Amino acid sequence: MKKLLKCVSLLVLTFILIPIVKADGPSEAITSGKLTLKSIPLVDEETRAWYTGNILIPENFPEWKGYNITVNADDAYKGVLKKYDDEYNLLAEKNVVITYEYDETIKKVAESLIKDLGTDMIQISLNDIEAMTYIVSANQYLREHPEYNGEMGFPFQFANFSGELMKKLQYKNFTIDIGAGGGYGYLTNRNMGELSFTYNDTYYGKGHSAEIIFRAIVYVPEDSTDIIKDIKNRVSKYFDVEDVTAAYTVVGTEHVPYTVEDYLKDSDREFYNTCKLDDECKDIISEYADVDAYLADISYDFEDEDFKGYMTADSQIYDIELKSGMVLHVVAVKDDEGAADEREFKTSDAGTGIEISTDGIIPLDALIQVARVTSGDEYDKIVKVIKNNNVDMFDLKMITKSNETITKLDNGKFRVKLPIKEEFKGKELKVYYVGEDDKVEEYKVTISDDGNYAIFETNHFSIYTLAAGAATKNPKTGDSIMIYVATLILSSAYLLTRKLRKN
């Protein structure tokens, strides 16, 4: 019997020690038949369509260029993987077994947010600074993806730029995309569709329908008498502005104001000329002999909600030249409802609950990126330098949608909230940053009212270490009263004794 148990034990141990074979990406899976999808299980048709249609685009996931996955309708863990050449000729086809790679904690957060959004259509407008931040970030994206010159199918979207939407999502650091719409370089535009939630390049589901409106405007005071000065004052808080000018065009021999209608016609002219070269777009303009015929058939409805109250046909265009050389084309709108009120920037990690906020100037689509550090050379070095191994260590980054990494805040400070582990509660807490040459910076820590967060301020990001020491010696409120009473009694007794001695 003992021999049998020993054999069974060895067999179990052998299975435990067998390395788990990680499923492959598409290039390996086309031969191995084992495929990993960074996604929650695609158990319904809508989820499958979202994942394959909106997530696995080559710009986001280069490894999927030339590949296509069709997930079985009756079994989400099986599918057909196909490989194509550049002319979309089928090169290979393979039945695959699918493994889903995702974090259950993040899945629950996404499900909770999606539930809280409700079922009603979400309608949101970007404010002026949010819209300008979108244009600046989209310009950066366009430089990195020149295939989108002309904006055909431009995938860069508005959602994470909206403070109103991010508030609805509790500022969680999901990358939010919408199904349709958007673009770059227009005076008005919109994204429409269902919100999809991605975290660390992993798909966690979709929310309900939303519509986000973009307008190229700048708010100026209601009593403004110097529009150019007020535009510069407003925008300079957020961007490095070189100059602001009123735009003009030449008609005959005269310089006349360049208007919204002029701008729209020029944009449509550019669209026509770009569309002629795009096979997916040609059908839109195929009935028109030339660009003049196309423009003659276009009318602009300035009573439409995109325009009404913001711009008319003859609204003046202003050019904002940034020190980077980029020029923003905007319309000045007098702010009579506090639309230009400042807002605090905030982002919160869905995995750890770490929150960063600031009143400083920062790209409004920046999202926190957190990696917990639990081992390795850097971990060992920091523990040794601060002489404390009772730590919780985090590598904090902030990254925008155009992949700009925010490492430092030149004006102002970031307020960081780190969750306190149960075993750290009631202990003296310190936050450390260990820089080059093992130079240590110690940060003053305050504890949130609920006792769950250690809060500190910094102006840059890197690896931060929350270290726990001895139990805190700060008395509780009730203990303070007792100490005060005891001190009062002892003092009174001392004074009374001296008085009796004198007598």
Contact residues for 387 (Cβ-Cβ < 8 A; gap 6+): none
Using the predicted structure, report yes or no on whether residue 16 has a pLDDT greater than 50.
no
pLDDT reported for residue 4: 37
pLDDT tens string 459-478: 998 999 999 987 764 333 34
Local confidence band at 114 (pLDDT 50, 70, 90 cut-offs):
very high
CB 67 within 8 A of CB 30: yes
pLDDT tens string 58-110: 767 888 999 999 999 999 999 999 999 988 899 999 999 999 999 999 999 99
pLDDT reported for residue 275: 85
pLDDT reported for residue 478: 42
Contact residues for 160 (Cβ-Cβ < 8 A; gap 6+): 166, 175, 176, 365, 367, 401
**In CATH, 345-471 is 2.40.50:** no
CA triple 77-83-84, angle to 5 deg: 145
Q: Percent of the chain having pLDDT more than 90?
A: 57
Mean per-residue pLDDT, 34-52: 91
CB 349 within 8 A of CB 372: no
Mean pLDDT, the chain, integer = 85
pLDDT reported for residue 153: 65
Using the predicted structure, report yes or no on whether residue 413 has a pLDDT greater than 80.
yes
CA–CA dist 432, 430 (Å, integer)? 7
Give the DSSP per-residue string, 240-293. Answer: -EEEEEE-EEEETTEEEE-BHHHHHHHHHHHHHHHHTT-TTTHHHHTT-SSHHH
Amino acid at 405: T
Both tokens assigned to 298: 């276009």
pLDDT reported for residue 362: 81
CB 215 within 8 A of CB 310: yes
pLDDT higher for 325 or 208? 325
Local confidence band at 400 (pLDDT 50, 70, 90 cut-offs):
confident
Least confident of 64-73, 397-406, 449-458, 483-492: 483-492
Task: Note if the pTM is more than 0.75.
Answer: yes
SS3 string, 200-234, reads CCEEEEEEEEEEEEEECEEEEECCCCCHHHHHHHH
Contact residues for 164 (Cβ-Cβ < 8 A; gap 6+): 124
pLDDT tens string 22-41: 447 999 999 999 999 999 99
pLDDT tens string 237-253: 888 999 999 999 988 78
CB 114 within 8 A of CB 207: yes
Mean per-residue pLDDT, 159-170: 93
The closest alpha carbon to 162, from 123, 194, 201, belongs to 123
pLDDT reported for residue 164: 92
Mean per-residue pLDDT, 274-300: 87
CA–CA dist 295, 261 (Å, integer)? 12
DSSP state of 474: P
pLDDT reported for residue 59: 67
Mean per-residue pLDDT, 450-455: 94
Mean per-residue pLDDT, 184-207: 90
Using the predicted structure, report yes or no on whether residue 306 has a pLDDT greater than 70.
yes
Local confidence band at 341 (pLDDT 50, 70, 90 cut-offs):
low
Using the predicted structure, report yes or no on whether residue 161 has a pLDDT greater than 50.
yes
pLDDT tens string 362-371: 888 899 999 9
pLDDT reported for residue 53: 78
pLDDT higher for 183 or 373? 373
Burial (0-12, 13-18, 19+ Cβ within 10 Å), 336: exposed
With b for 16 or more beta-carbon neighbours within 10 A and e for fewer, the 356-382 pattern comes to: bebeebbbbbbbbbbeebeeeeebeeb
Using the predicted structure, report yes or no on whether residue 277 has a pLDDT greater than 70.
yes
Using the predicted structure, report yes or no on whether residue 260 has a pLDDT greater than 50.
yes
CA–CA dist 364, 412 (Å, integer)? 16
pLDDT reported for residue 57: 73
Contact residues for 411 (Cβ-Cβ < 8 A; gap 6+): 360, 361
CB 367 within 8 A of CB 199: no
Local confidence band at 339 (pLDDT 50, 70, 90 cut-offs):
low
* Residue spans per domain, the chain: 21-100, 104-215, 345-471
pLDDT reported for residue 337: 66
Local confidence band at 406 (pLDDT 50, 70, 90 cut-offs):
confident
Contact residues for 360 (Cβ-Cβ < 8 A; gap 6+): 345, 409, 410, 411, 412, 413, 414
pLDDT reported for residue 75: 95
Beta bridge partners of 417: 355, 455
